[in-house]
A and B are shown apart, each in its own frame.
Chain A
Amino acid sequence: MRGKVLLLPAAAGAALLWAAELPDKYTPAERRHWAFQERSRPAVPEFADPRDRAWVRNPIDAFVLARLKKEGLRPAPRADRTTLVRRLYFDLLGIPPTPTEVSAFVNDRSPDAYPRLVERLLDNPHYGERWGQHWLDVVRFAETDGFEYDTHRKDAWRFRDYVIRSFSSDKPYDRFLMEQLAGDEINPEDQELRTASGLNRLGPLRKNAGNQEVASSRNEVLTEMTNVVGSAMLGVTLGCARCHDHKFDPIRQKDYYRIQAYFAATHDKDVALASSEEQTAWQMRFDAADQEVKSLRMSMRGLKGDERKQMEKKLEDLEAAKPEPLPAVYSVANDRARLSPIHVLARGEYENKGERVGMRPLGVLLPDGTGDSDPAQAKSPRTELAKWVTDPANPLTARVMANRIWHYHFGRGIVATPNDFGAMAPRPSHPELLDWLAGEFVSGGFRVKAMHRLILASNTYQQSHRSPAAALGLAKDPENKLLWRFHRRRLEAEEIRDAMLAASGKWNRKAGGPSVLVPVEQELVNLLYKPSQWTASADEEEHHRRSVYLIAKRNLRLPFMEVFDSPDLQISCPRRESSTHAPQALELLNGDISNQMAKALAERLRREAGSHPVEQVDRAYRLVAGRGPNPRERQLGVEFLKGQPLEEFALAMLNLNAFLYVE
């Protein structure tokens, strides 16, 4: 075996329990899979040709160019500044540049105009909202339970704000993971850390009337906690090993349950933020309301028909009148008295208990026969797991995050499946580059912003989408895996809505706080099991906040978001789909959101461009597409405005490829 073995205190600990009858073994072939190998320190390719040397701005370019040359391809020329500034704004902030911001950059002739723009955007408060959303996708953040009741988690927004703060402040990624896995263990008095470990509660939660399956529910909760470690942090499909040994990767079923054992004592804990007086007062009000509900229930016994219906309505009102829960942090805590014994479960079924296991990281990264340790003896079990996950020598963690960062910048990862680095995943397109990036990430202290600086500085990133050699590129590499041009992408659902808000001037820039419920059609609300759950936020200004602040409700996603491939909030989403179909056109043409935004945009055009069609068209293009119109576009727009309303012109603008795509 060539890879370095990760020996960890947790695994080497004295409290070995349940040593397996037969020590598990991994064949050399299993251990040889590239992702389990120690990171290489690849030599940066060098070039003799002056043309090549001129293009290579940093090692990223060297790796990319070497690969392109092997296929007889050349990179595309640098994108023009108008394109670059719009690209950077969407990439880093998820919102378009204003016309002033575009011209400031285009006209900035100083040699460091570009890096200064990058720095400005990295410092921009909206950066965290954009990059935080990526992480929220990966950890399937939502603010409701899902399943039948889809109960709202009123304070779940605190975790969302924690993620945004973490990205904005460039918290080292190893620290970020540590806090989310084990914040409560690190310091139970620290509200930020407690909020962070709310990660362990983000999964859907099945609650049912009359549930007689306590053990089954606990098993589902543990499953949710365990799977995140695999998909979000390690990039292995650990979840596949819940029911049987992994079919393709060297992950045994026992590995799965050994990871789960780190969570054996983990239980939900809501930490009240109110004073004890407030809590007492609240409890009294709650008990009183609860007593009323109970006595009404008693009196309902035996009632039938209309009489019963009336009482049921009254009951509903009483339930609704119960005081709202006090502010709290949704965290977890270890409760060793309620420690769940972890067994290997045949077919993943909680009733089919097999061998009991203790805590241990993935066996393929440990020496054969490494024993496991007893969760009952562990003071801080999740901290132990987090230490192993974030160990600089862990071959997966840094590669996985470096790849995610790359994926979000380029629309495709070096490994195309960011949650899966296993045998079934496509091989990395640039393995040396991935190792080099992961190495930089670790040696730079796991700083995400440092990775942005590196990547954004490269010529690879600054390429145009428009390549003079497109025909050759398309013939040799139709999916542009080798990056012979920049990948044009459709804006994501949130970006489309946010960009409409920005272009129309309606955007409410307020950051953080409880999530917003926007008005939706009653017919949609009626599709909820409990329609009373959806009441639009009273303050209309709130409806114009960025999409990351809209409630993430598992059983009612906004049709606008759904139709543009927003994630379904149930399972980890490593990569957004980008489909194109008629309901999107219907949403943008006839939907409330786009029509309201078009009206606002039209008003803004009148305000800022007066009544002159040429200026209206010019201004509209600058607001919506970040550039002026070309002659043909100007001509068509002006013609249209001779007889047609400005609102319809504005709506057309919000339907354009020039708006919906970023080059």
Chain B
Amino acid sequence: MIQNVFSGSKRYWAILAAWAVLVAVGAAAYSVQFTDGLTVTGMSRDVSWGLYIAQFTFMVGIAASAVMVVLPYYLHDYKAFGRTVILGEFLAVSAVLVCMLFIFVDMGQPRRIVNVFLHPRPSSPMFWDSVVLFGYLILNLVIATVTIEAERQEAPPPRWVRPLIYLSIPWAVSIHTVTAFLYAGLGARPFWMTAILAPRFLASAFASGPSLLILLALIVRRFGGFDVGHKAVRTLATIVTYAMVINVFFVLVELFTALYSAIPHDVDTFAYLFTGLEGHSALTAWTWVGDGLAVVCTVLLVVPAVRRQERFLVPLCAGVIMALWIEKGLALVVAGFIPSPLGMVTEYAPTVPEVLITVGVYAVGGFVLTALYKVVLSVRGRLQSA
């Protein structure tokens, strides 16, 4: 099975080479950060988490969303997802890998990262997040490789993998719940300290993840000759629609609670996001673009005639990903630090090295995803031609 990774068309190698170049650029930028410290980033005393932790948060959602294909297929025997499941699982594997790398590049003392397991403190959500992410990576890697290997041998998957599949369903929910708890348990940060954060994370995950999966499935169909089927794409689009509606609803619920109660420390952060605070408005344009996109995409997705046409679905999925990336991969983490506990409004903007490292980490994900999807295409392609 693994041998499929090492043979392929020129296009396959070109894609891998392109990812590798980006990885190399990111690695070069990381070596600068490793030497000089996190001073090379835009983070500061007041905004002490930035792009890395925000990307981590966004990508946990992408990873968790595999459950949206696994659950219908395995629990409800929804046959239309037969060809999508493996794409979802391998997407989850790459996404978790990216999450772990984002945590790693954010560490001030990366060489000590094993301390999380050598000296674990169970009261820390970060410890539990490491545990569930590792578990999720292993679960998906085992499940996906075992099922594709069985398929290659044209045999049914071994029985022992079934309980693992069932376990992976609540496990997917757990990774994003624990990630939300990382934020929601902090009395110091009123913007994050909301009981709806975990549900909100899950809703946005189940919109952004399947959106990405639709785009990937269409790319794979066009360039890899592997068709997941119209029905699968349609069902995924329906899942995206419901998740987006719920996500927009959750955001409105948050806004109501903060703005109607009008408690200053709850209002301040929303004021910073939507109007700017004390003359600082770096995220205002992003917020309006993100929320505008979210509303427009949701409204259009709700219309079946629009959603069912691929020429509309593709930009809508891209719009959903963009909107939720702004919401979770940018605004949510940074805005939580504004204003600071000492009432300061310090803004944050990533630096060039920080952006390059971020691109590099995503490129690792892209590289791994390309290789894993190549395995799927080779195995399935051989079966189809046989």
Does A pair with B? no
Q: Contact residues of B with A, CB < 8 Å?
A: none
